Amino acid sequence: MTILNKLFRRSPEPATESQGSDYTHGLDYDRLIAEEVAEFDNHPMTADFKLGGVHDTSAWHYYWKRLGMEEFAGWRHASIANFLEEERQFDGPIKVLSLGSGFCGPDLDLARAFHVPYEITCVDINPKLFAGARECAERENLQVRFEQGDLNFITLPPDSYHLVFAHAILHHVINIERLFDQIVQTLKPGGVCHFVEVGGENRVLISKYAQNFANTLLRLLPRDLAKDAKMDIGAEGGMEGIRQERLLPLIEQSFQTIFEVRHGAFMRFACHATPVGLLNPEVPREKQWLDFLIDADRSAVKRGILPPLEIWGVYAPRDV
C-alpha cells in the first residue's frame, strides 16, 4: 500500500466536530456504495474518457459552447491551468487533486493544458474506471496518478495541493461538511478549488415547476423536430443528489468566490432526456429552435423565474 493509499483510504475513526457530522449514520451505506460503483461500471464512456450516452449529445455540447462565449465573458483564462500559471506563483510543480475523477477525461484535458511542471492525483471510489485513462496517461507521458478513496471519509494530507478539482461529484457526497474541511486544510497558500457541480433539492434532479415550464416550451417545437419531446424526471436513488440542497450554501460558507457562473434551469435535462438532444446545431432550422430553448433557459435564470441548477466556479478558502 502506497503512502497515498494510506492517506486516501476510509478512516475508521468517527468524524470529529471540526470535520463535521457523519451523515452516513442510519443509512445502508454499503448498499449505497455498491449502487454507486455498479452505476458507473455500466455507464457508457466516450473516446476521450468522459461520460457518454445522454451526456454526449450535439445539443449539450452546443449549449456549453454558447455558455463559454456568453456567460464566461469575465473569465479571461483559457483553462484553470492557464489561470494557475498566470495568476499564481508556486514553487515546484503545480499539484492537483481531482476528486471523484471517474473516467478522468477532464483530468487528462487539464494535464494537456499545463505549460509548466505539474502532478495530478485522481481519486475515485471505483478504481476500475481508471483503466483507460491510465493507459492514455502512460502513452502520452502525462503526469497523472490514480488512487482509490471514499470522499465521505477521505483524509487528505495537509498543505499539499495548489488545486482541488471536482467535476460533477460533490452532489454524490453525503459528508460534504467533512470533505470541505479536508479540502481547506489540504490546499497550499494561494491554492484554489475548481467545482463544476449541480444543486437543487435532495434527490431531485429538476423541480416539478421547472419541468412543467420546460415542457410548455417543448410543446412549441415543430412536431417533426420535437417528436413529442417531454421531460418526465422523477426522484433519484442511490447517492445521486443525496444532500445536494446543502451544497451551494456550504460552498458559500467555506469558500470565497474568484469566479462563478450559475446557470442551467432545465437545459441539461432537455438535452439529455428528450429528443432535443438530437437537434443538430449544424442544421440551421434545428439550431434556431435549440437557440430558442437556450435563450429561454438563460432568461428564466437571469430574471429569477427559475433557479439555476448548475455552477462553474473557482474558489479560495475563506479567511478564518
Within 10 Å of residue 16's Cβ, how many Cβ atoms? 11
pLDDT at residue 268 is higher than 90: yes
Domain that holds residue 87: 3-317
The edge-to-edge listing of strands for the beta sheet with 255-263 is 144-148, 118-124, 94-99, 161-167, 187-198, 310-317, 255-263
Position 7 scores a pLDDT of 40
Q: What is the pLDDT of residues 132-165, one digit of tens each?
A: 999 999 999 999 999 999 999 999 999 999 999 9
Position 235 scores a pLDDT of 72
Between 120-129, 204-213, 285-294, the lowest mean confidence (pLDDT) is in 204-213
If one counts the domains in the chain, the total is 1
DSSP 171-231: GG-S-HHHHHHHHHHHEEEEEEEEEEEE-SSTTBSS-HHHHHHHHHHHTTS-HHHHSS---
For residues 163 and 138, is the Cβ–Cβ distance under 8 A?
no
Residues ≥6 apart with Cβ < 8 Å to 258: 192, 313, 314, 315, 316
Report how far residue 223's alpha carbon sits from residue 249's, in angstroms, rounded to the nearest whole number. 41
For residues 226 and 263, is the Cβ–Cβ distance under 8 A?
no
Return the CATH number at 87. 3.40.50.150
Q: Which residues pair with 166 in a beta bridge?
A: 99, 195
pLDDT at residue 98 is higher than 90: yes
Mean pLDDT of the chain: 91
Q: Which residues pair with 314 in a beta bridge?
A: 194, 259
pLDDT at residue 199 is higher than 50: yes
Position 175 scores a pLDDT of 97
Provide the whole-model pTM.
0.91
